[in-house]
Amino acid sequence: MTSIRRDAVVAADGPVVALRFEHGALWAIDQTALPWRETELELRRAADVASAIERLSIRGAPLIGVAAAYGVALELAHDPEGLERATAILRGARPTAVNLAHAVDRVGAAVRRAAPGEAATAALAEAHALHADEAAASAELARHGADYLGSGAARRVLTHCNTGALAAPGRGTALAVIAELAQRSQLELVIAAETRPLLQGARLTVYELRRLGIEHELVVDGAAAGLIAAGEVDAVVVGCDRVAANGDVANKVGTYSHALAAVAAGIPFVVAGPTSTIDPGCPSGTAIAIEQRAADEVSRVRSGAAGETYELTLPGTRCRNPAFDVTPASLVTALVSEHGVVEPAAGDSVLSLLG
């Protein structure tokens, strides 16, 4: 894996392009270096892609799926017999995001349908198709979400983690809804929760909102519930990493407490995600494997262009670091997808979105 440093684009306007396939390689913005430095990683093998996903250079459930699809194609271009190996390497990169498994399976099926000698070509075509499908889903999802929220009084929206163009092809998921509200002049303010431990809110959401020219404020995660209770927030809108068949939602750690606070305050808790994040094979949240990540994500923090990390506690402190939590369907006011909106808390089935 090669990394190529480009000029910083912090001052640039407009949406970010998180992934592009060019000259036989997948080029991915190294999200661990944002907002201080824009570096593109040049990925040429499935293991490169898996490693970029593991270390969160590529993140966001839908973006991980597309990257993994390209990962299969890259491996087959190198070794036409490499499907099994590529699948295994990529599936193991992150256990919670179901899109990854979906994407790898979709490309695998295309490869098996392909004529002899056409495996790599078929895989790449399928990866491109998935990429295009996800970008189209983002646009549709944004429209449905803005219709749903805009009909109310969602002028101050709180969000968690990063769910923009850095997380999903197109404009993203929850942040795409927010951007659409802003475009319709139905948005006053975005309150971004910083999203410890890796600060995707402080680093990535703030970066995207700055580029999009959308008014925003940053808060620590623990401040969200109090602001919601105090009437400072009109709606919470977040993404999702996996939605179980019963409507339970796994998303970035810290999401569940925002949902509790929203429901206690009587404001909508809205989850935005393409239908590829729905896992009909997973009956409920208790069946979702929650990825446990390294302790030093909690005990240290990364800052600045040098990418250095700094200690936040005594050396040797034991840390527990679940990457996700589960919000029960009963707290999910709405699930917004490219196929429309359902209301799990009101008893709607999320499976109806799969048609």
Query: What whole-number distance in Å separates Cα of residue 168 and Cα of residue 17?
Result: 10
Nearest CA to 345 among 241, 238, 271, 278?
A: 271
- Decide: is 318 part of the binding site for a second copy (CB under 8 A): yes
Q: Is 241 a catalytic residue?
A: yes
Closest separation in Å from C-beta 3 to a second copy: 22
Sole window of 18-26, 88-96, 118-126, 299-307 interacting with a second copy (rule: CB under 8 A): 299-307
- Decide: is 132 part of the binding site for a second copy (CB under 8 A): no
- Decide: is 304 part of the binding site for a second copy (CB under 8 A): yes
Do 256 and 326 touch, CB atoms closer than 8 A? Answer: yes
Residue 131 or 216: which CB sits closer to a second copy? 216
Strand partners, 249: 243, 327
Kindly identify the residues of this chain, within the stretch 225-254, that bind a second copy according to CB under 8 A: 225-227, 229-230, 253-254
Query: What whole-number distance in Å separates Cα of residue 335 and Cα of residue 353?
Result: 9
| Torsional class of 24: left (φ above 0), alpha (ψ -120 to 50), beta (otherwise) | left
- Decide: is 97 part of the binding site for a second copy (CB under 8 A): no
Do 120 and 76 touch, CB atoms closer than 8 A? Answer: yes
Nearest CA to 157 among 344, 279, 336, 346?
A: 336
Amino acid at 215: E
- Decide: is 312 part of the binding site for a second copy (CB under 8 A): yes
Among positions 109, 264, 346, 354, the unique one binding a second copy when judged by CB under 8 A: 264
Closest separation in Å from C-beta 137 to a second copy: 27
DSSP 289: P
Tokens of residue 296, six digits: 């030093």
Residue 70 or 324: which CB sits closer to a second copy? 324
Binding to a second copy by CB under 8 A, coded x per residue (else -) over 325-354, reads xx----------------------------
Nearest CA to 267 among 141, 156, 185?
A: 156
Tokens of residue 187, six digits: 């948005």
Sole window of 25-33, 102-110, 112-120, 206-214 interacting with a second copy (rule: CB under 8 A): 206-214
- Decide: is 292 part of the binding site for a second copy (CB under 8 A): no
Report CA-CA distances (Å) from 138 to 32, 41, 251, 350: 23, 24, 18, 18
ω into residue 197 within 30 of 0, thus cis? Answer: yes
Closest separation in Å from C-beta 193 to a second copy: 8
- Decide: is 314 part of the binding site for a second copy (CB under 8 A): yes
Sole window of 43-51, 81-89, 126-134, 308-316 interacting with a second copy (rule: CB under 8 A): 308-316
- Decide: is 212 part of the binding site for a second copy (CB under 8 A): no
Query: What whole-number distance in Å separates Cα of residue 341 and Cα of residue 292?
Result: 31
Beta-sheet strand order (sheet of 324-327): 278-279, 242-244, 249-252, 324-327
Angle subtended by helix axes 83-91 and 46-54, to nearest 10 = 0
- Decide: is 219 part of the binding site for a second copy (CB under 8 A): yes
Among positions 70, 148, 207, 269, the unique one binding a second copy when judged by CB under 8 A: 207
Query: What whole-number distance in Å separates Cα of residue 326 and Cα of residue 249?
Result: 5
- Decide: is 8 part of the binding site for a second copy (CB under 8 A): no
Binding to a second copy by CB under 8 A, coded x per residue (else -) over 134-173, reads ----------------------------------------
Interface with a second copy: number of residues (CB under 8 A): 58
Residue 4 or 220: which CB sits closer to a second copy? 220
- Decide: is 39 part of the binding site for a second copy (CB under 8 A): no
Nearest CA to 162 among 176, 150, 148?
A: 176
Catalytic member of 241, 248, 279, 325: 241
Query: What whole-number distance in Å separates Cα of residue 150 and Cα of residue 84?
Result: 46
Q: Catalytic amino acids?
A: 241
Residues lying near a second copy in the complex (CB under 8 A): 10, 35-36, 191, 193-197, 199, 202-203, 206-207, 210, 216-227, 229-230, 253-258, 260-261, 264, 290, 298-299, 301, 303-304, 310-314, 317-322, 324-326
